[in-house]
Structure 1
């Protein structure tokens, strides 16, 4: 059996557009808001997704779901802390 090297993949040039700084801040703010709005696993998942999107996910989101999610989360008012307490 002869081992043949696999040709190298084309070099990536990094020409994808950067997300504007104000949008990056908006997604990070929505991430922190989501964690406070939805305590537990749901809030943690939303938090992680929004932060990942702010860093590099915007390059892969063709349906613009995460920007719509961020808008929806930021439109929700936070409940007072006593409403988060079980039995309150």
Structure 2
């Protein structure tokens, strides 16, 4: 597991996820401008009751805010699937 994925998991732990899966798709984007700058491409599947009552956009914003500066430095692209336990 990469340092970036570990750090993402640590930060997202504040959302008390029942399930979290992060996949690094950076190799598929080799040569892409963002990849050359050092930011990775990731897919996130997260289940947390912290998303209850939130729209998809609000859920994504919560994830982005939780990851903070990682979104500016270590992560170039992030595909998010954010569900509650009842939705998963």
TM interval, short-chain normalised: under 0.3
TM-score (norm 2): 0.28
Which has the bigger relative contact order, CA under 8 A and spacing at least 6?
Answer: 2
Q: Which has the higher strand share?
A: 2
State the TM-score, normalized to the length of structure 1. Answer: 0.28
